[in-house]
Chain A
Amino acid sequence: MTRRPDSRTGTTVPIEATAVRPGRRAVLVVILAGLFAVAGAATASAHGGEETTVGYVLAQQALGHLAHDTSAAGIEVAMEKVDDALETSDNAGVDIAKVQQARAALEANQVTRAQELLAQAISAAVAALPPATGMSTGTRTIEPELAGRPDAPAPSWILAIASLALLLGGSYLAYRYRPADTPAQLRRRLAQPADRDAQASREETP
């Protein structure tokens, strides 16, 4: 029987004894089974979806696009949504006249005016919405992005200075409390004969 050295025990062991063990084989089987299950589920469950035909949602989508992109591309996509909102038959609570005015405002590149008109057009529909459950957004109004800091600059400077002081103080303390030796110094130190002997005697001790 072929044998190989075992560094842990210092002896030789049969190669057959260290071939794929039942435990490892079981782990591999479980992993492969999991991967196949995921792959199968992904393939089997992939399905298509449909765009909404609900009028107020289409108007909200137009508002959503305009809230993120007021460039010509953003206006174009928003206009498509407005057109869909005008064409759909499911327009309960939507003021169609205002949607038409919003479309005209978009054509004239009056984005803010179009946003106001669209918000007014769907106000009755969103006011009648039940409390949001499941994946419902619960969105009533769409305000533009808000900066993450109020305008008043004074507290910001105070907080910045305090943060800088913490950063410098913490860095100084971390430097002061650093280990006595770098890894390179430790390597050299452990390579010295006295330390090697100490290490050897320690390793020989059962």
Chain B
Amino acid sequence: MSTLRADPAISTSPNTAATRPWWRRALDVVDDRLGITALTYPVPEHANNIAWSLGGITAAALVLLVVTGILLTQFYAPVPEEANASVRHIVTHEWGMWFVRGVHFWAAQAMYVTAALHLLRVFLTGSYKRPREGNWLIGVAMFGLVIFALFTGTVLKWDQEGYEALGHNVEVANLLGGGGLWFSPDFANRVSILIRLYSAHVVLIPGLIVVLFTLHALLVKRHRISPHPSLTADDESTDAPAAEPVEPFTHHLRRISALGLALLGALGLLAVTFPPPVGPAPVEGIEVIKPMWPFWWMFTLENWIGLSGILYGGGALFTILVALPFIDRNPHRAWRHRRVAMTIASAIVAAIIVLTILMAFTTAKTHLGM
């Protein structure tokens, strides 16, 4: 029988109603109307581990990005003639906004890292297997959107780094023919592509992430928290062992909130210590800047085989991620019983790390228009 560790903050016993403080009774009134206590459903204890909280930390980073992003949009001018100057104005003239921008910059990278680690954890514990294949695909789609958000955010600075990133993307879109039409300046030739990417960055991408996150969370609730393979004798089981203690889901939310506070503090320290600079306004036809580090592994491939390296590298990674639950039919979830999957995944992760390190020791090279 599972043991539910009660949440003392939430008690609906009528016997204690008279002795409850006024604010708890006020909360009861709210709860009667909004059903907040529905969130106290039980989840297995291992869900509160850091590894199982990575998705929640990613969501916390998203919240920070939305809040800081809303503040930044108040002062940003998304037209090519003004964009770079408006970012400079944000840094130098709007009180405290350099800090907000710094937190936004570091939160974007934190979200990329935690989303990648979350994907890795889900892979290592076999949590993408039946019946959670659909939720894995939603997670992969969200990871793609996070990368797209990183890319569009880089372009919005409208400095040389952002413009070169955009140039690469347009060239890759050209390689895709009609598939890359949206990225082509010809798609809407009376409008700057910066404006379209701005709309994607502040509306389309976060909107899609929120919709997919809602589906993701509903499916986690529907399928329950995936089992920890080392806690069950049968590592093919789709659920946590019945004997594992459970806690209210609100405990999970409480811990994620605490981790989110710690994340905000860490990002604030990074923003103060390593504030992101604003580069010179862009010039067409030159390549002098390396891209942001999450893209380095693809750019090493580009150095080797040309622009199509970005397409092949990124395409191969996402093809594998999408196909994973359909190709890997091994019912075991413990990594010890999944030698083929573990070997391939280790090779891919090692390749990405090596390619990234190689780019760290490489200077920017010219690829566009070559």
Q: Bits for B181-208, please: 1 = Cβ < 8 Å to A, else 0.
A: 0000110011111100000000000000
Q: Is A15 part of the binding interface, using a Cβ–Cβ cutoff of 8 Å? A: no
* A194, B283: Cα distance in complex, Å: 71
* A173, B176: Cα distance in complex, Å: 49
The reply to whether B259 and A135 form a contact with Cβ atoms under 8 Å apart is no
Tally of contacts, chain A with chain B, CB under 8 A? 261
* A114, B261: Cα distance in complex, Å: 49
CB distance from A191 to the nearest CB of B (A): 9
* A31, B232: Cα distance in complex, Å: 35
CB distance from A46 to the nearest CB of B (A): 7
* A64, B232: Cα distance in complex, Å: 60
CB distance from A24 to the nearest CB of B (A): 6
Q: Is A107 part of the binding interface, using a Cβ–Cβ cutoff of 8 Å? A: no
The reply to whether A137 and B261 form a contact with Cβ atoms under 8 Å apart is no
Q: Which of A48, A61, A145, A163 has a CB less than 8 Å from the CB of B369?
A: A48
Q: Is A112 part of the binding interface, using a Cβ–Cβ cutoff of 8 Å? A: no
Q: Bits for B66-103, please: 1 = Cβ < 8 Å to A, else 0.
A: 00000000000001111110001001100010110110
Q: Is B177 part of the binding interface, using a Cβ–Cβ cutoff of 8 Å? A: yes
* A42, B228: Cα distance in complex, Å: 42
Q: Bits for B247-265, please: 1 = Cβ < 8 Å to A, else 0.
A: 1000100110111111111
* A139, B79: Cα distance in complex, Å: 11
A180 proximity list for chain B (CB < 8 A): 5, 45, 245
Q: Which of A143, A155, A160 has a CB less than 8 Å from the CB of B280?
A: A143
Q: Which of B243, B265, B280 has a CB less than 8 Å from the CB of A167?
A: B265
The reply to whether A135 and B284 form a contact with Cβ atoms under 8 Å apart is yes
Q: Which of B179, B236, B269 has a CB less than 8 Å from the CB of A8?
A: B236
Looking at the complex, which of B21-29, B307-315, B338-346, B347-355 is the stretch in contact with chain A?
B307-315
Q: Known: A41-B175, A183-B230. Is A198-B1 also a contact (CB below 8 A)?
A: yes
Q: Is B145 part of the binding interface, using a Cβ–Cβ cutoff of 8 Å? A: no
Q: Known: A27-B323, A186-B244. Is A148-B331 also a contact (CB below 8 A)?
A: no
CB distance from B67 to the nearest CB of A (A): 14
Q: Is A52 part of the binding interface, using a Cβ–Cβ cutoff of 8 Å? A: yes
The reply to whether B45 and A181 form a contact with Cβ atoms under 8 Å apart is yes
* A133, B194: Cα distance in complex, Å: 9
The reply to whether A68 and B288 form a contact with Cβ atoms under 8 Å apart is yes
Q: Known: A64-B288, A170-B258. Is A136-B192 also a contact (CB below 8 A)?
A: yes
Q: Is A121 part of the binding interface, using a Cβ–Cβ cutoff of 8 Å? A: no
The reply to whether A171 and B262 form a contact with Cβ atoms under 8 Å apart is yes
Question: Closest chain B residue to A155 by CB distance?
Answer: B96
A7 proximity list for chain B (CB < 8 A): 236, 331
B259 proximity list for chain A (CB < 8 A): 170, 174
Most buried by A among B163, B283, B306: B283
* A171, B57: Cα distance in complex, Å: 13
B175 proximity list for chain A (CB < 8 A): 41-42, 45-46
The reply to whether A164 and B269 form a contact with Cβ atoms under 8 Å apart is yes
The reply to whether A132 and B242 form a contact with Cβ atoms under 8 Å apart is no
The reply to whether A133 and B192 form a contact with Cβ atoms under 8 Å apart is yes
| Interface band, chain B | 35 or more
* A41, B84: Cα distance in complex, Å: 35
Looking at the complex, which of B11-19, B212-220, B270-278 is the stretch in contact with chain A?
B270-278
Q: Is B116 part of the binding interface, using a Cβ–Cβ cutoff of 8 Å? A: no
B63 proximity list for chain A (CB < 8 A): none
B79 proximity list for chain A (CB < 8 A): 131-132, 138
* A39, B244: Cα distance in complex, Å: 49
Q: Known: A42-B312, A141-B281, A196-B243. Is A146-B91 also a contact (CB below 8 A)?
A: yes
Q: Which of B158, B231, B261, B285 has a CB less than 8 Å from the CB of A173?
A: B261
The reply to whether B268 and A159 form a contact with Cβ atoms under 8 Å apart is yes
Q: Is B48 part of the binding interface, using a Cβ–Cβ cutoff of 8 Å? A: yes
* A50, B251: Cα distance in complex, Å: 61
* A149, B283: Cα distance in complex, Å: 24
The reply to whether A148 and B265 form a contact with Cβ atoms under 8 Å apart is no
* A49, B370: Cα distance in complex, Å: 6
The reply to whether B231 and A145 form a contact with Cβ atoms under 8 Å apart is no
In B97-133, the 8 Å CB interface with A consists of 98-99, 101-102
CB distance from A63 to the nearest CB of B (A): 7
Q: Is A206 part of the binding interface, using a Cβ–Cβ cutoff of 8 Å? A: no
The reply to whether A131 and B166 form a contact with Cβ atoms under 8 Å apart is no
B319 proximity list for chain A (CB < 8 A): 31, 34-35
The reply to whether A177 and B285 form a contact with Cβ atoms under 8 Å apart is no
The reply to whether B326 and A24 form a contact with Cβ atoms under 8 Å apart is yes
* A160, B242: Cα distance in complex, Å: 46
The reply to whether A133 and B283 form a contact with Cβ atoms under 8 Å apart is no
- A-B contacts, 15 listed (Cβ < 8 Å): A45-B175, A48-B369, A49-B369, A68-B280, A69-B288, A139-B80, A148-B101, A164-B265, A166-B261, A171-B258, A174-B262, A178-B48, A186-B228, A190-B231, A199-B243
